[in-house]
Amino acid sequence: MEEKDRIKLTPLSFSDFLKREDKKEYYVKNMFAKGTINMIYSPPASMKSFVSYYLGLCLATGNSFLNQKTKHVNVGYFDWENPISDIKNRILGICKGMNFNTSKIDNFHFFHKQPSLLRVSSYDSFVIPELREQLIEFIKENNIKVMFFDTLRRLGNFDENDSRAINTIKNELFDPLITECEVCVIFLHHTSKEGKNYRGSVDIEGILDTAFSITKKVKDEDTFLTIKNTKRRNNELEILNAVVEIENEEYEDEDGDMLENIVTVKFNQSVEQEKEENSEYSTYRKHFIENLVFGKKYKNKELCEMLSYNFGVSSSKTTSKIIKWLNQIDVIKSFGEYKNKYYILSPSYASEEDEIKLKVMNREFLTTFKENDLINKEMLKEKFDEKYFSIIINEWLSKGWLDYGKKGYLTTTDLFKSANFGEKLDVEIEDLK
């Protein structure tokens, strides 16, 4: 074996190790990071494919995913299970319901009913090298950053309980994609018959960076989804709640049967939380809604003291967890450049008069930032009502329309420049009064 072909170890000294600057880069805020393996799983018919299509579209357009900021990236999606007519119907329904412009989405690539990537022979299993190399080449050529596999089971004809097959998928498919292309891998999977955990080998959990379960509940014709983090490496988001509105239309097929077709699909973050047994979280939410003043800034210490005084919560760990939860469900909003200094009540709880003023200011902000790329924050603050200024700035930053420029300045982003927000923000004020 020639010297150049030898496999070599490359250890790092402690000082070299500390110099490494491998910062975790999230494609969805606190959810899906570059170079990670992630699972979305649920019982059958719990809308995991709907959620994944919506997530893929948010990434491909740079729109927020249930109010979580995303990066505008190219997406690849393997779907072995759903007919292409169903996929198209769902995708178009989501685009119409969420106001995504289909004519501008050319970076979402589909692999429909492709050959199985994993081959199982007797006691051996292996990923087909030719297909893997084709996939790596396609990902590189199209600069894809997030790859979906719907579902894990359809990667090949293997036993989900076979740990060797699971590790083959990781070692021979997912790891090479991450090493060669630095993609984020997201695969869909099913729960066991009991519906409480994922199906198959315990090694599935071992290969994961994060896992999100989806629970579906239908109440009064509304569909509620709970997306819960069941495994995380760092400080990834714990829970997201969504309400899904699907509008269908009936049509008659060639045989005279009445069928339904999806017209629109809308995803909205839900602030309604299910009351857990022995849980006081709903009480915390109610108390904060009733006692926090809309638009007022609160220091973290003040919120902790409020919890301690009203509920006897003295543990800093517990108060931090409650405050984080309240922030996630939009009862309060983190505010400030470092997102850890102040909190303000979410616009979701504004009065009708406040809503009108917020929309007026949104339009004025739009006009201001269309004319200027970089604006002094203090000068901007003097121009607008401080009560609403904090809220608008916070919302625009979270949506990725603004960023912090040089010290004391706000600057528009490429997302703001590339999209037409005029139609969304240029509201008729008279109609609101």
Kindly report, residue by residue over 210-228, the tens digit of the pLDDT: 999 999 988 777 899 999 9
Measure the CA angle with vertex 323, ends 64 and 58; round to 5°. 10
The residues spanned by each domain of the chain are 23-269, 281-348, 351-432
d(CA 360, CA 365): 9
CATH architecture of 281-348: Orthogonal Bundle (1.10)
> pLDDT category, 430, cuts 50, 70, 90?
very low
Class of the CATH-defined domain 351-432 = mainly alpha
Does residue 384 carry a pLDDT above 80? no
pLDDT at residue number 127: 93
Report the SS3 class of residue 357. helix
Residue tagged 């970089």 (tokens): 374
DSSP 100: -
Does residue 137 carry a pLDDT above 60? yes
pLDDT at residue number 431: 45
Beta bridge partners of 121: 124
Q: Which CATH superfamily is domain 23-269 in?
A: P-loop containing nucleotide triphosphate hydrolases (3.40.50.300)
Regarding predicted confidence, which is higher, 348 or 8? 8
Which DSSP helix (H) or strand (E) runs through 344? strand 342-345
pLDDT at residue number 336: 65
Does residue 277 carry a pLDDT above 50? no
Mean confidence (pLDDT) of the chain: 83
Same fold, 23-269 and 351-432: no
Does residue 310 carry a pLDDT above 90? no
CA quadruple 118, 119, 121, 124: dihedral positive or negative?
Answer: negative
Q: Which residues contact 368 (CB under 8 A, 6 or more apart)?
A: 375, 380, 383
